[in-house]
Amino acid sequence: SGLLPGVEVALVLSNRKEAYGIQRAIQAGVPVVYFPLAPYRKAGRPRTAYDADLAALLEAFRVEWVVLAGWMHVLSNAFLARFPHRVVNLHPALPGAFPGTHAIQRAYQAFRRGEIAHTGVMVHLVPDEGVDAGPVVVQEEVPIFPGDTLEGLEARIHAVEHRLLVQGLRQLLCSAPSPGGPR
């Protein structure tokens, strides 16, 4: 792509049918796969089976790096072992602050209680099953202003996320060779 020279998006995969990334991928002519967890749960299959099948699917598309943006499941070692040091996550908070879901809302509430003055965004590697933890590639603080609404804060954080994700991926994918070359 123009933002990441020499990097090819092999696939956009989502566990949510309504994900905006699916629409954008279709418009860009990038292959798309919807891969929900619910059928595995309904059939009583373990989470590790889902993750192993997910990894096999990505390998079939010759994916070398996995970028999580809006992926709301913690990946198990059944998945992570297949992509060692090649899973990148985007999270709308700074390291150690507000891991897991609803990070922006929780930061906004903490600000309203007078506990924090800023939040942030980080791009980090996912080495294990920890939640929003791992070596940070890039991070940036996002101030919270007294007149902010939750929607306004979300919009500012999303703008930083879009920019920081490209910056972090450029750092990881364009400066160091990956197995078989960047994708």
Secondary structure of residue 165 in the 3-state scheme: helix
Nearest to 90 by CA among 118, 122, 62: 122
Res. 173 pLDDT band, cuts 50 70 90: confident
pLDDT value, residue 6:
79
Q: Kindly report, residue by residue over 74-92, the tens digit of the pLDDT.
A: 899 999 999 999 999 999 9
Res. 183 pLDDT band, cuts 50 70 90: very low
Residue 35 reports pLDDT greater than 80: yes
Res. 181 pLDDT band, cuts 50 70 90: very low
Secondary structure of residue 122 in the 3-state scheme: strand
CA dihedral 18, 16, 87, 153 (to 10 degrees): 60
Res. 121 pLDDT band, cuts 50 70 90: very high
Nearest to 66 by CA among 164, 169, 170: 169
Please provide residue 38's backbone torsions phi and psi, each rounded to the nearest 5 degrees.
-50, -45
Residue 91 a catalytic site member: yes
- Catalytic one of 85, 91, 118, 162: 91
Q: What is the pTM of this model?
A: 0.88
Higher pLDDT, 176 or 110: 110
Long-range contacts, stretch 176-179, CB < 8 angstroms, 24+ apart:
178/64, 178/65, 178/86, 179/64, 179/86
